[in-house]
Amino acid sequence: MALRYALLAALHEAPATGYELTQRFRSRLANVWNASHQQVYRELARLLQDNKLLVETVEQSDKPDKKRYHLTLSGKKDLQDWLNQPQSRPPVRDPLLVKLFAGDLLESEVLREDLEQLKQDWLAQLGYFRSIEHTYFRQPDALSRQYRLQYMALRRGVTQITAGLEWIEEVEATLEDLDNAP
Amino acid sequence: MALRYALLAALHEAPATGYELTQRFRSRLANVWNASHQQVYRELARLLQDNKLLVETVEQSDKPDKKRYHLTLSGKKDLQDWLNQPQSRPPVRDPLLVKLFAGDLLESEVLREDLEQLKQDWLAQLGYFRSIEHTYFRQPDALSRQYRLQYMALRRGVTQITAGLEWIEEVEATLEDLDNAP
DNA sequence: CCTTACATGTAACAAGTTACATGATTAG
DNA sequence: CTAATCATGTAACTTGTTACATGTAAGG
């Protein structure tokens, strides 16, 4: 059910097309919610059918037409109701940690590559988040309540990745220790 | 597919029943992998059919009988193959951050309660992880490679929660600031 | 008495993934 | 000529969730 409300929340921020929503999920909302374009289009169709959204067709001369979705009052109300109910926290499912748990069957070299890849991914994402921070949230105290709360969502991403990177250092140090002095 | 390998990894650590595996996922593996008992039983049945596991029926006089599952050679090989392939990292889907993103529709009081609940959950989990740390991982350097890698999985949980708790402080401070001096 | 722990499942449904499909434009 | 970006979808399949189902034993 939560994808529904992630979409409503994103559309409440600003009306958008399915394509744009998919992009938001991949970029600015990367630490908040994830959804593929297939999921987005399917759920938008349902929301539309339930009268939670309105469509505005935007004609473009050079590119294919696009459908911009807007929240209806009913959609906004649904979102509000959902927001004011407690939501369960996300379940944890991390393949990399499963690997660590099966430790003795895992080759150090493979683990090192996994860690390196993860580090690169995280560094890229951190760089992106920091650029947003720099552009939009320079003096957070001066911002509206809405933006300060959005900033807190971004901060979550930054602190999570920072802690993750430190953890990688720890694992790498352990690995070196293990392989050098057995 | 990854549930399959989470089960194989857990059974590689030690043979167990469906019930015990479900418990492990809820306790020691809470920061690694999550699965309900329904999922566990279903996947165990599939693994058994594919000859990745063997069952041993353990008769009990006082409680119902139980089925203890063991890895077969084929199961172990599957696990090994999986371990040595790169795995994608888990998608992010956090309802609380969705709430923050819809900031202006969210009442401070509701958010405060959410944060308080999350803090309590995390503190309990952190306490549990620390007790494991204290019991099994006092001098990590002295342990086998296997246990040191398992310790790194546990450390991931500890560092993640620690960072999360700090983030909560940050959000609470922001909230107070917002509500006191608008 | 009532809840929790132990122990194992089935069935229906919702959510998420992977594969397939189409077509224009722009940048290298 | 090839890949990437824009733009929207369908279909099939796999995972994950929720609800239902059953039965014993121990502890408060």
The confidence score (pLDDT) of residue A61 equals 67
The confidence score (pLDDT) of residue A9 equals 98
CATH code for A2-83?
1.10.10.10
CB-strand contact A66/D, under 7 Å: yes
Kindly report which amino acid residue has its CA closest to the C1' atom of nucleotide D11.
A38
Name the residue of chain A whose CA is nearest to B103's CA: A146
Per residue in A102-150, pLDDT (tens digit) is 989 999 999 999 999 999 999 999 999 999 999 999 998 999 999 999 9
In which band, very low, low, confident or very high, does the pLDDT at A182 lie, cut at 50, 70 and 90?
low
Give the mean model confidence (pLDDT) for residues B1-22.
97
In which band, very low, low, confident or very high, does the pLDDT at A180 lie, cut at 50, 70 and 90?
confident
pLDDT at residue B132 greater than cutoff 80? yes
If one counts every other C-beta atom within 10 angstroms of the C-beta of residue A166, the result is 11
The confidence score (pLDDT) of residue B103 equals 86
Contacts of the segment A138-147: beta carbons below 8 A, 24+ positions apart: A140/B174, A141/B177, A144/B104, A145/B103, A145/B104, A145/B178, A145/B182, A146/B103, A146/B104, A147/B103
Q: What percent of chain A has pLDDT over 70?
A: 97
The confidence score (pLDDT) of residue B29 equals 97
pTM: 0.95
First to last CA, chain B: 50
CB-strand contact A70/D, under 7 Å: no
B contacts of A174 (beta carbons < 8 Å): 140, 148-149, 151-152
